[in-house]
Structure 1
Amino acid sequence: MPTTMTANNALSSCSVELIKDQDRFDKVVSDASNLVVIHFAASWAEQCKHMGEVINELAKDPRFAHVVFITVDAESLAEISFKYEIVAAPTIIFLKAGKQIDRLDGANAAELTAKVTKHSNKLIGEFTQSSAKQDLNERLKKLINSAPVMLFMKGNPETPRCGFSRQITQILADQGIKYSTFDILEDDDVRQGLKAFSNWPTYPQLYVKGELLGGLDIVKEMVESGELKEALPTAEDLNTRLKSLINQSPVVLFMKGSPSAPKCGFSRTMVGVLNDVGVPYTTFDILTDDEVRQGLKEYSNWPTYPQLYAKGELLGGLDVIKEMKESGELESALKE
């Protein structure tokens, strides 16, 4: 590399900032939170001018709006060049969090574009993963606070799918404890995420008022010491809770499973009928909450499921809903 320099015009012809001193370089690098692409150039080199034009175009690309592009006069700022082992111009250095993650020696526009795209996409992927983790944590918070007593288990109280889950549901039943459940086998994000969120590696997991009590062994010990019932919240008025559930939206369906995965033929048929009518509705899976499952039968004096409610009033089960559809009453009852 020559020891003398001509004017910097060739370096500063593009919109990418030309760094002229050490302090400015340090500030740009330290302030950048994403990818920094440094073009070490020399004003006398035609190849540097060409790469400068390529970098200028990349800097204008909306895909790389989060990337910082700068040009360094490789000969004028010899200390910076020495630090990054610059022996020829052009050389491109890629930094992240102040640390070098890649470099490109020589003029190769295609490879430069590929490297910027690669490292930029990696940053976007990391941001997406971070956002996804944050979203999952918010979802986990809502789940563990969705009922006063919440059990994360394999299966449901009716059909536990492991011995530990079977034992803990039996304990809770023997103690007369009302609780809701979540089947972690149906959602791997929750299954894996909750382990890290609560720092508890196994299932089942029992939560009271949003706080983890523990797994099966802890619950057994708390039953023996009498601490379990002391830890439980005061029982809420079930009728008040049921009123709130059946009035959560204008049309509410209490069923087994969900519209996308019904867990009995009657629930599947009911979902089909409602979809045909085209009226928006919300659902409640009675398999996840035995208190609601048993209590709603008495509350509405209707012994079976599914049950369909409109404006807080019971319309009936599957047979009644079928008759109302055939007679034309259903659509008007739901759309009023």
Structure 2
Amino acid sequence: MSLHSPSTVQEFNTLEKSGGLVVVHFSAEWAEQCEQMNRVIDELIKQPELKEVTFVRVCAEDLSEVSLRYNIRAVPTCVLVRQGEEVDRVQGANAAALTTAVKKQAAKTSLISISPAGNTVSTGNTDSSDLDARLKRLVCASKCVLFMKGTPDAPRCGFSRTTVDVLNKMAAEYSTFDILKDEEVRQGLKTYSNWPTYPQLYVDGELLGGLDIVKEMEATGELRDILPKKTTLNDRLCVLINRSAIMVFMKGDRINPKCGFSKTLINMMQQTGLVYDTYDILTDEEVRQGLKTYSNWPTYPQVYVKGELVGGLDILKELYTSGELINTLKGQ
């Protein structure tokens, strides 16, 4: 059992694919709840039955590429990884949920052995109710899930490659699961879905079908209406900046600003008596980095009125001093 704190993406990638179960705690120094989960992990490390588990602490802001890869939108978040694939996650400071998830996945890891040829095979029996519960979580992991051989970047069979091509052509928002890396899921899903072959495509937790069904629905035009569409970052940012007539993107929130600039801005905003909304960019690395490009403004806080950027703290100070702040925030 071990604890690692990688400082580079390369170091993380090595740990991620080191074999066995890897528990990754995405954290931030400013979040008190992360320290709570650190203490939970310190206790888990001491337990002998978890001696083969690798624990990793990642600063979500420092390794933003890794955070984006795992779609980390808030801290603390703990992601359980086996052979480079996510098998479970626990969001928030939930000690009981993390303990249960780690022990369950560690037990499953102990049932897996590697044959001389390098193929992963199951050597133990898994309770069918546990497997059904796991399969249900997997098919509901996102609105659209494709169980395939390989990954979208490297399909391992022609049927999987063709299905990925169809989904990409339709700009579908989907997640995937490589059934070649998990024999339990590969065999169990056939019974669960009563569908003997792969790939299998699920939408809203229900089986849509395999490649033949996907191609038929593509031909009739039905598939386009069923599949969730990708939301671009710019589309998401547009929705956020228009969420309220006055939007403040800052570090922390109005109750607990996480930097001096944000605190000073909130003090000014409170004096106006106007209604406004805030967004904590520390909880969302995608927004934090994307908004800098979207607005062509490199720092925070940022204030928007009716979807248009007013500026940061310096601009707001100038408006406050000149007496124009309230009218500007009202969009006048």
TM above 0.5? no
Which is greater in Rg? 1
- Select the structure that is richer in helix: 1
TM-score calculated relative to the size of structure 1: 0.40
